[in-house]
């Protein structure tokens, strides 16, 4: 079984192929680009972007398309696609961390509808950009199926349908058990066409190569230590610039100045060996389709282009002080639970070998509301807070940041995620206690609700901690 992770120290990260299934199945050998040089550190840039994940790369690509004369520099602690952009579940979804009704309550019907439309449109937009940039990332828009496997999940399924009808943007449909995925205990499911499957590392590495072709410099093995208006301080020197963009997302909490802006939550994954087409026919899982169910403890899966099932979920612990370490990517108990869940859902997988296990960190804002901000006075911009729904959302956020930096008003710059300010997370130990209660509580709630078929008191108690 592939489970070896890189060492804890960032200076001793081993072969990048060990980071995930996605890194292991790239056709390239990942070699870091040159770090920031002394000459570059003494230069002046129009824009410095911190982080070579989806957010930073989409922002840079959109900017170079709008303003080819801009001097843009990207600095990255490891390599492009090292973090969640290269390790995620491979869903290009229209999901936004805040639900439609909450968006309506906060922003009003018209802004909420505009945001939902932008999220749905982002799915196809990712595919078009990838095609235009000649990036083969296994993009297939096959939709997603969310299965209802007990009475409380059926209730949540119909709530999701009712909520979608309020705005009339999402084209969700209920499917009976006989017409959806062949999971055990299935009582039906909700199908959403606004989702695509991708190979996430192929996409992020392709975006980085596209920027190489435009002449945008990506300085890898260059760690950001601090930033302020007009200046980014790295372990390779300080860089002067007009605009600073924080695209660190899940790693934002690693900087002391932004530690409470985002809570690093770990999501872990497993992948099976390649499986025969006949098995997928039995399950009803077509190429391009992703799947989940309506439990509280998030799970997610896809059929990969090489006929594996890549399957993930939450449940890994939060670490005191928002600490992030490579060793936290591997939690054997969670991997075991994921394998049990996958094979319990789909018994034909009982004898399938698990060949890859991995994990990574994602960013959670205190109110579970993603945001894009840009202050023209300070020249500082940020985007993030995707809570694991970042493939499509980072695309929208990056293009929006580019509009704001270039001073080009657009429909995107009017969306309600622009200018949103999430409150900071509590000081420790309150942050640890709240996060741990939420992670433990969702599992307890699922167990109670599966037995009773009714919403549990636990769900209501932890709702403020989980964005509901």
**pLDDT, greater one: 406 or 10:** 406
Tell me the C-alpha distance between 356 and 388, whole Å.
20
Residue pair 202/137 in contact (Cβ under 8 Å)? The answer is yes
> Residue 143: which region, alpha, beta or left (left: phi > 0; alpha: psi -120 to 50)?
left
Rg (Cα) of the chain, in Å, rounded? 21
- Residue ranges covered by each domain of the chain: 29-138+200-262+365-425, 144-192+263-364
- CA dist 420 → 160, 365, 370, 402, 454 (Å): 25, 11, 8, 17, 34
Helix (H, G, I), strand (E, B) or coil at 254: helix
Domain 144-192+263-364, architecture per CATH: 2-Layer Sandwich (3.30)
Tokens at 33, concatenated: 């680009």
Confidence check: pLDDT of 9 > 60: no
Tens-place pLDDT, residues 65-86: 999 999 999 999 999 999 999 9
pLDDT band at 360 (very low <50, low <70, confident <90, very high): very high
Lowest-confidence pick of 7-11, 89-93, 272-276, 356-360: 7-11
Instruction: Considering only residues 448 and 377, tell me which one the structure prediction assigns the higher pLDDT.
Output: 377
DSSP alpha helix (H) spans, 237-302:
277-283
**Mean pLDDT, residues 270-282 taken together:** 97
- 14 vs 170, which has greater pLDDT? 170
Tell me if 29-138+200-262+365-425 shares its fold with 144-192+263-364.
Answer: no
State in Å, rounded, how far the first CA of the chain is from the last one.
37
Measure the CA angle with vertex 459, ends 454 and 462; round to 5°.
Answer: 175
Supply the pLDDT for residue 459.
Answer: 67
Query: For the residues of 203-215, what is the DSSP string, one character each?
Result: HHHHHHHHHHHHT
Give the Cα separation of 308 and 274 in Å (integer): 4
Can you name the residues that pair with 309 across neighbouring β-strands? 303
pLDDT band at 245 (very low <50, low <70, confident <90, very high): very high
Residue 366 is encoded by which pair of tokens?
């205190």
What would the mean pLDDT of 424-435 be, rounded to a whole number? 93
pLDDT of residue 193: 98
What pLDDT shows up at residue 448? 79
Q: What does the longest C-alpha to C-alpha distance in the chain come to? A: 66
Inform me whether the pLDDT recorded for 467 exceeds 80: no
**Residue 406: predicted pLDDT:** 97
Tell which wins on pLDDT, 141 or 458. Answer: 141
What average pLDDT is seen over the chain?
93
> What CATH number does the domain located at 29-138+200-262+365-425 have?
3.50.50.60
For the cut 50, the answer to whether the pLDDT of residue 338 exceeds it is yes
pLDDT at residue 3 is higher than 50? no
Indicate left, alpha or beta for 2 from its phi (over 0: left) and psi (-120 to 50: alpha): beta
- Give the span between the Cα atoms of 116 and 169, in whole angstroms: 7
pLDDT tens for 138-178 read 999 999 999 999 999 999 999 999 999 999 999 999 999 99
Are the C-beta atoms of residues 361 and 53 closer than 8 Å to each other? no
């Amino acid at each position: 079984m592939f489970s070896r992770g890189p060492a804890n120290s960032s200076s001793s990260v081993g072969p990048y192929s060990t980071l995930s299934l996605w890194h292991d199945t790239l056709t390239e050998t990942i070699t870091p680009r040159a770090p920031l040089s002394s000459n570059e550190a003494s230069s002046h840039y129009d824009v410095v972007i911190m982080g070579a994940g989806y957010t930073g790369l989409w922002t840079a690509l959109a900017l170079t398309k709008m303003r080819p004369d801009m001097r843009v520099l990207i600095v990255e602690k490891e390599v492009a696609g090292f973090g969640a952009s290269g390790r995620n579940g491979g869903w290009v979804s229209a999901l936004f961390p805040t639900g439609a009704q909450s968006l309506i309550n906060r922003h009003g019907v018209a802004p909420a509808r505009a945001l939902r439309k932008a999220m749905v449109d982002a799915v196809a937009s990712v595919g078009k950009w990838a095609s235009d940039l000649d990036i083969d990332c296994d993009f297939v828009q096959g939709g997603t199926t969310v299965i209802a496997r007990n009475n409380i999940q059926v209730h949540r399924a119909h709530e999701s349908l009712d909520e979608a009808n309020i705005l009339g943007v999402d084209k969700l449909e209920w499917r009976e058990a006989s017409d959806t995925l062949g999971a055990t205990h299935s009582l039906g499911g909700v199908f959403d066409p606004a989702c695509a499957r991708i190979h996430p590392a192929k996409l992020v590495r392709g975006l980085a190569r596209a920027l190489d072709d435009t002449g945008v410099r990506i300085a890898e093995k260059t760690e950001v230590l601090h930033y302020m208006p007009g200046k980014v301080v790295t372990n390779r020197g300080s860089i002067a610039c007009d605009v600073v963009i924080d695209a660190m997302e899940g790693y934002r909490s690693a900087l002391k100045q932004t530690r409470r802006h985002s809570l690093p939550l770990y999501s872990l994954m497993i992948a099976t060996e390649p499986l025969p087409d006949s098995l997928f026919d039995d399950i009803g899982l077509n190429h391009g389709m992703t799947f989940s169910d309506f439990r509280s403890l998030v799970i997610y899966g896809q059929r990969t282009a090489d006929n594996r099932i890549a399957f993930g979920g939450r449940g890994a612990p939060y670490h005191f002080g928002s600490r992030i370490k490579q060793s936290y990517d591997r939690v054997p108990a969670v991997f075991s639970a994921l394998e049990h869940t996958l094979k319990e859902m789909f018994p034909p997988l009982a004898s399938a070998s698990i060949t890859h296990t991995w994990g990574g960190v994602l960013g959670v804002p205190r109110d579970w509301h993603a945001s894009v901000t840009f202050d023209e006075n300070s020249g500082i911009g940020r985007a993030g807070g995707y809570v694991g729904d970042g493939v499509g959302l980072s695309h929208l956020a990056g293009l929006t940041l580019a509009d704001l930096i270039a001073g080009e008003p657009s429909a995107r710059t009017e969306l309600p995620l622009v200018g949103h300010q999430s409150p900071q997370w509590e000081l420790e130990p309150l942050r640890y206690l709240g996060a741990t209660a939420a992670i433990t509580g969702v599992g307890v709630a699922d167990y109670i609700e599966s037995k009773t078929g009714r919403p549990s008191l636990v769900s209501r108690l932890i709702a403020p901690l989980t964005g509901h």
